[in-house]
Amino acid sequence: MDTDFQLPSGRVRVRSWGADDAPILLCVHGISANLTAFCVLAERLAGPDRRVVAFDLRGRGRSEITPPGTYGLDSHASDVLAVADALGAETVDLVGWSLGALIAMRVARDNGARLRSVALIDHIGPAQAAALAPVRAGFARLDAAVPTPAAYLDGVRSAGVVDRWTPFWEDHHRYELAEQPDGTWRPTTSRAAAEEDLFQRWPTDWTDHWRALTMPTVVIRAIRPLNGAVLISEDAVAAMRSTNPAIRVVDVDSNHFTCIVDPATVDAVGTALR
C-alpha cells in the first residue's frame, strides 16, 4: 500500500507491507534508488508479526524534490525519524542500503534509543573509489528523455552493473519514470538531489558512528567486484571491528547493486531482527 506523508522537510512516498499493528522494519534506499529496492526483502520478511515500511528519500522516486541545500545525512536522518513518528513508532528496526546505510548509522549515532536493530547493506563509511564509480555513472540515466519505458530499461540494462537482469529490476526502474506532456518518458528522481548527497561534506573518521551501533547490528558486505573493486574493503572491516567488535559481518556473493535482492542479504537481515 502506498501513501504520502507530509514531513517537516517535505512530502515523501511511503509503502507498507504486513500487519499495520506489528513492529516496524523501516527501510532506507540508496543514493539514486527508490523504495521498490526493498520489495524482495519485504515479500520475505513482512507478515502478521512484522510490518516492513520503505519510503522514497526526498528527490527520489515519487517523493517531493525539495530545494538545493535540503539534502545530506542529517536531513535524511531527520526524515527517518519523522517517518517513524508518522507511523506512531517510538522504536523501529532499521535497514539501509548504500547511502541508506550511512543514513542509518547517522540515526544510530544521534538517536540510537529509537532503534531496536540495524542492518547496513554494503556501506559502512569508508569506500573504495573504483566501486563507487559505477554508482556515480548511474546518475546519467536521470537525464534521459525516451519515447517508451522499454527504451529506458534497455539503457539501464546495457550499463551492465546488474549481472542477472530479472523482472525486479524492470519494476524498480519503471517506478522512477513518468510520462511527460510531450509524450516522452523521464525519470522523476532528481539528479541534482542525488549529486548534492554525493558531494556533501563526508566524515573522514567514522569511528563515532561505528561506536554508536550498540543495538544488534549486521553489516552485509557484497564481495563480487564492481569495476574491479568491492565497496567495503577488508581494511575498512578491520577498522570497524577494532572499534566495535560486536558488529556482525556477513559476506554475500553479489555486487553492490545485486546484493539488495540476494537471498543471503534477506537472511542476514532476518537474523538481526531475531
152 within a domain of the structure (yes/no): no
Q: Are 87 and 215 in contact (CB under 8 A)?
A: no
How many structural domains comprise the chain? 1
CA-to-CA dists, residue 206 to 127, 197, 203, 212, angstroms? 11, 17, 6, 10
**What counts of helices (H) and strands (E) characterise the chain?**
10, 10
Please, what's the largest Cα pairwise distance for the chain? Answer: 56
What residues make up the domain containing 131?
2-139+192-273
Return contacts of 232-238, CB within 8 angstroms, 24+ apart.
232/122, 232/123, 232/124, 232/126, 232/127, 232/128, 233/126, 233/128, 235/126, 236/124, 236/125, 236/126, 236/127, 237/124
The per-residue pLDDT for range 26-68, each reduced to its tens digit, is 999 999 999 999 999 999 999 999 999 999 999 999 999 999 9
pTM for this model (two decimals): 0.98
149 within a domain of the structure (yes/no): no
- Model confidence at 121, pLDDT cuts 50, 70, 90, reads very high
Q: Are 35 and 42 in contact (CB under 8 A)?
A: no
Q: Give the mean pLDDT of 82-86.
A: 98
Q: Does position 163 have pLDDT exceeding 90, yes or no?
A: no
Q: Give the mean pLDDT of 222-249.
A: 97
- Model confidence at 104, pLDDT cuts 50, 70, 90, reads very high
Q: Does position 274 have pLDDT exceeding 90, yes or no?
A: no
146 within a domain of the structure (yes/no): no
In this structure, the number of other CB atoms found within 10 A of the CB of residue 150 comes to 12
Q: Any idea what the CATH number is for the domain that residue 257 is in?
A: 3.40.50.1820
39 within a domain of the structure (yes/no): yes
Distance CA 172, CA 264 (A): 20
43 within a domain of the structure (yes/no): yes
54 within a domain of the structure (yes/no): yes
> So what's the pLDDT on residue 165?
94
Q: Identity (one letter) of the amino acid at 21?
A: D
33 within a domain of the structure (yes/no): yes
96 within a domain of the structure (yes/no): yes
